[in-house]
Amino acid sequence: PDFPGMSNAENCRDWDTGFPIKTDAIREKDETYWKTYRGTPKAFVSLAAGQTMWTNRFGDLTALRFSAATNVVESKLREQLNPATVGLSFTDVRGEAIAASTQGQDFGQLFIGFSFFLIVSALMLMTLLFRFSLEQRSGEMGILLALGFAPRHVRALLLCEGAVLALLGGVVGIVGGMGYARAMLYGLSTLWRSAVGTSNLIYESQPATLIIGGFSSVMLACFTIFLSVRREAKRPVRALLQESNGSEFETASMICGKGRRAFWIGWASFLPAVGLTGYGLFHREVVMPGLFFGAAVLLLTAGIAWVTWLLHRAAATIDATDLTLVRLGLQNLTRRMGRSRAIIILLASGSFLIASIGIFRLDATTDQHMRNSGTGGFAFVGESALPIIQDLNTPAGREFYNIDAKVVTNSAVLSLRLREGDDASCLNLNRAQKPRLLGVNPASLAERKAFTFAAIETKSIEQPWLLLNQKLENDEIPAIADANSIQWALGKKLGDTFPYIDEHGRTRQIRLVGAVANSILQGSLLVSEENFIRLFPSESGYRFFLVDAAFVVGSTPSNEISKHLTRALQDHGLELTPSVTRLNALNAVQNTYLNTFQILGGLGLLLGSLGLGLVVLRNVLERRNELGLLQAIGVNRRRVLTLVIGEHGLLLSIGLLLGIASACIAVLPAALAPGAPLPLGSLMLTLLGVGLFGGLATYTASLYALRGRLIDALRGE
State how far the Cα of 575 lies from the Cα of 446, in Å rounded to an integer: 26
Beta pairing, strands 477-482 & 507-516: parallel
Beta pairing, strands 436-440 & 412-419: antiparallel
pLDDT digits (tens, 9 = 90+) for 158-174: 888 888 988 998 898 88
* 618 band by pLDDT with thresholds 50, 70 and 90: confident
pLDDT digits (tens, 9 = 90+) for 264-313: 888 898 898 888 888 877 776 555 666 787 888 889 889 988 888 888 77
CA angle 465, 471, 473 (to 5 degrees): 125
Q: What is the DSSP letter of 336?
A: T
Phi, psi at residue 456, to the nearest 5°? Answer: -135, 155
Averaged pLDDT, 421-432: 77
State how far the Cα of 221 lies from the Cα of 337, in Å rounded to an integer: 22
* 360 band by pLDDT with thresholds 50, 70 and 90: low
Averaged pLDDT, 324-342: 71
Instruction: Give me the helix-helix angle, 337-358 and 116-136, nearest 10°.
Output: 160
pLDDT digits (tens, 9 = 90+) for 542-593: 999 999 876 544 434 467 888 889 999 998 999 999 998 888 888 877 777 7
State how far the Cα of 287 lies from the Cα of 51, in Å rounded to an integer: 50
* 45 has pLDDT over 50: yes
* 686 band by pLDDT with thresholds 50, 70 and 90: low
Averaged pLDDT, 79-87: 68
* 323 band by pLDDT with thresholds 50, 70 and 90: low
613 or 579, which is more confident: 579
Q: What rounded mean pLDDT belongs to the chain? A: 79
253 or 388, which is more confident: 388
Q: What share of the chain is helix, strand, coil (3-state, %, to 5)?
A: 60, 10, 30
Averaged pLDDT, 314-332: 64
Which of 253-267, 437-451, 660-674 reaches the highest mean pLDDT?
A: 437-451
| Confidence (pLDDT) at 194 | 66
Which of 100-109, 578-587, 622-631 reaches the highest mean pLDDT?
A: 578-587
The H or E element containing residue 79 is helix 71-80
State how far the Cα of 296 lies from the Cα of 277, in Å rounded to an integer: 9
Q: Cα 278 to chain center, whole Å?
A: 23
Instruction: Give me the helix-helix angle, 289-316 and 337-358, nearest 10°.
Output: 160
